[in-house]
Amino acid sequence: MPDPSDHEAIATAMQRINRAWLDRRPGDMIGLIHPDVTIVLPGFAGRVTSRDALIAGFQDFCTQAIVHEFRESDLQVDAASNAGVVSFVYEMVYERGGTRYRAIGRDLWVFSRHNGEWLAVWRTMLDQSEQEV
């Protein structure tokens, strides 16, 4: 039986990651992301490997966009031994270059326990759609 405290710790790590970029402080993610994290681009259109690249992507978004709304639903957290998976549906309205967009999809993160801490090691976004509003 999985330890409920692992579920809570993984969910908290995910909350802290989301809070960091939503508060326009992606650098705060550094202690939550493994240095060799892999990011699989939406639609499996490529991959990037490194914490610096992941944080730079969020930094770029924070510099160029303003988030007006962000909602999560259908949070799912699974854990077994030293691995954890978090997924949730997101809906976001943001503005970039004077144009508003609505983005919807499912964010999927994989975590691994390192020295007692849950670190993100893999991420992708599924079922992503985006349109002007």
Model confidence over 81-112: pLDDT tens digits?
999 999 999 999 999 999 999 999 999 999 99
CATH architecture of the domain formed by 4-132: Roll (3.10)
Q: Which residues pair with 86 in a beta bridge?
A: 77, 109
The pLDDT, as a whole number, for residue 2 is: 57
Q: Residue 7: its pLDDT value, please? A: 93
Nearest-10 Cα torsion for 75, 48, 13, 65:
-80
Q: 2-29: per-residue pLDDT in tens?
A: 567 999 999 999 999 999 999 999 999 9
Q: pTM of the predicted model, to two decimals?
A: 0.93
Residues facing residue 81 across a β-bridge: none
Q: Report the distance separating Cα 4 and Cα 36, nearest Å.
A: 27
